[in-house]
Amino acid sequence: MATRTKIKLEPLVIDGHKVGRVLITGASAGIGAELARAFAREGHQLTLVARRRAKLEGLAAELAREHYVDVRTIVQDLAKPTGPAAVVKAAQADGHIGILVNNAGVIDVGPFSASRTDALVNMANLNVRALTELTASSFPAWSSAASAASSTSPRSLRSSPFPEWRPMPPRRRTCSP
Ligand SMILES: NC(=O)c1ccc[n+]([C@@H]2O[C@H](COP(=O)([O-])OP(=O)(O)OC[C@H]3O[C@@H](n4cnc5c(N)ncnc54)[C@H](OP(=O)(O)O)[C@@H]3O)[C@@H](O)[C@H]2O)c1
């Protein structure tokens, strides 16, 4: 009889440091879903956010089955004023968020004059406000883990789904007129 490896409930450890969960917004489809698959292949724990529950839960089941990683889902409309804060609260209850992927977004194509005001406001709320709020809310947790992160980042990036993403060597800041 085939045996099944248990779901790994501990965060990925690189160079002795826990990486934390990877939070991906807009993970129910498209690029976000593919990023979730890529991170899961590397053994990361995931928190997936979008509005369509069935899509999120289907992907979570697929990733747990294929890669034995712990996947949580948060069903939330990030364009709603209360959406980003609700996501941060729910996500942090599951553990430290080590990597934030602000992927959810919409594009309104066509002449500005033909756009509906509510669609434009919705787009600004999702593409700008939610991204800003999620990033700012995550900073306190990141800064407390900053020394660990800075010592692990080169190796973390080597093991990320994007090996071409390399940390830049320290450079002197310059200003040009
Ligand atoms: N594909 C491209 O060529 C391209 C080019 C440039 C930039 N981008 C950007 O890359 C990102 C991903 O693109 P994509 O092509 O993969 O898009 P997509 O297939 O349309 O997927 C968008 C994702 O965002 C989620 N989403 C949309 N509105 C949301 C809301 N109000 N609250 C929470 N989640 C929401 C959707 O899930 P639910 O519907 O379940 O909520 C879905 O998971 C977007 O930000 C897009 O603007 C894409």
Tell me which residue range forms the domain holding 140.
Answer: 17-158
Compute the distance from residue 76 Cα to the ligand 1 centre, in Å: 14
User: Considering the domain boundaries, does residue 6 fall inside one?
Assistant: no
List, in sequence order, every residue forming a beta bridge with 25; answer none if it has no partner: 49
The answer to whether residue 169 is domain-embedded is no
Run of H or E residues at 147 = helix 146-158
* Helices 131-144, 146-158: crossing angle, 10 deg rounding: 110
Contact 49, 24 (CB under 8 A): yes
**Distance from the alpha carbon of residue 15 to the mean position of ligand 1, in angstroms:** 33
Residue 175 lies in a domain: no
Q: What is the pLDDT of residues 53-83, one digit of tens each?
A: 999 999 999 999 999 999 999 999 999 999 9
pTM: 0.84
Residue 24, domain member (yes or no): yes
Q: Is residue 107 part of a domain?
A: yes
Confidence check: pLDDT of 155 > 50: no
Record the tokens describing residue 176, joined without a space.
Answer: 């040009």
Higher per-residue pLDDT: 64 or 2: 64
Q: Which CATH number is 53's domain given?
A: 3.40.50.720
How many domains would you assign to the chain?
Answer: 1
Ligand 1 atom with the smallest distance to the CA of 83 is: 32
Whether the Cβ atoms of residue 21 and residue 95 lie closer than 8 Å to each other: yes
Q: What is the mean pLDDT of the chain?
A: 82
